Amino acid sequence: MEELDFQGLLDKFDDDGFQKGEQVVLANFGTNQTLLTLIFQCPANVKNITIEEVDEVITRNVDLITGEQVVGHATTLIPKARNSKLVWDAVKAQHLGLGQIIVTYNLPTKRNLVDVGHDDIAFWRTYTIEGSDVFFEIYEHYPRQPFEEVDWIKKKEV
């Protein structure tokens, strides 16, 4: 589902019974740090960054943290064959975040929501950021508990 497919987003979230708070997080294509900062009323940061390269694919893992609490986790697959040398080198250097790379180098991109899901423990999404110089496949996982504690989402009925 492309980011501007509004009816597709509504249909998907309605069909699968997502709460509005889950929908806002999962359909957000702006900066997650800004959204999480507003939800938790505490600056959100990216921490515990690890990258590993295997067979010319970088796997980048990060925790999304507010205060001392992990409120999300992201795993990104970055294939060398689908990224320019500039992007590949910037990812490996780890001086800039992925969004910062896109902005710093003024890379035109589109985002595509590939999958969303939720259960009584968490909610998650997979999406891609694609352009002629860049391809990131990102899986984000959000534990429900922190969002329930600030009344962003309701506790799931068991």
Instruction: Note whether 46 and 57 are within 8 A (CB).
Output: no
Q: Maximum CA pair distance of the chain? A: 49
**Residue type, position 79, single letter:** P
Q: How many CA atoms does the CB half-sphere of 127 hold within 13 Å?
A: 22
The class of domain 6-149 in CATH terms is alpha beta
C-alpha to C-alpha distance for 70 and 46, rounded to whole angstroms: 10
| pLDDT at residue 4 in the model | 62
Q: What is the pLDDT along the chain (158 residues), one digit of tens a residue?
A: 566 678 887 888 877 889 999 999 998 887 788 999 999 999 999 898 899 999 999 999 999 999 989 999 999 999 999 999 999 999 999 888 898 899 999 999 999 889 999 999 999 999 999 999 999 999 999 999 999 999 999 987 65
